[in-house]
Amino acid sequence: MIQYVTNWNEPGTDAANRYLNLTRKLYGYMTPFVSKNPRQAFFNYRDIDLGINHNGKASFEEATAYGIKYFLGNFNRLVKIKTKVDPGNFFRNEQSIPVLPH
């Protein structure tokens, strides 16, 4: 497992963007050396660059971007379970399992 961490002590948006872009460049550079189709991730280390869910009408489509990378073939099964257990989507975060659209 590879975890990308970036820290900096410079204030301001320009510095933040510069260091985040360097991290994204490293992430891209590592692409040939990591899992593919899909590129996988470990859910306990959330990577919002994989996508986020705004919990709106496009919730399922947005979640598919990161859900398949975290949960592989289990994503659709987890969505069905979440829809039954939490149909109002009370338990959610920016990368939570979505509910199916009504």
* Inter-residue contact 8 to 17 (CB < 8 Å): no
Pick from 9, 18, 1, 101: nearest CA to 53: 101
* Catalytic option among 4, 19, 29, 45: 45
**Annotation marks residue 29 as catalytic:** no
* Inter-residue contact 8 to 16 (CB < 8 Å): yes
How far apart are the C-alpha atoms of 46 and 99, rounded to whole Å?
A: 19
How far apart are the C-alpha atoms of 73 and 69, rounded to whole Å?
A: 9
Active site residues: 45
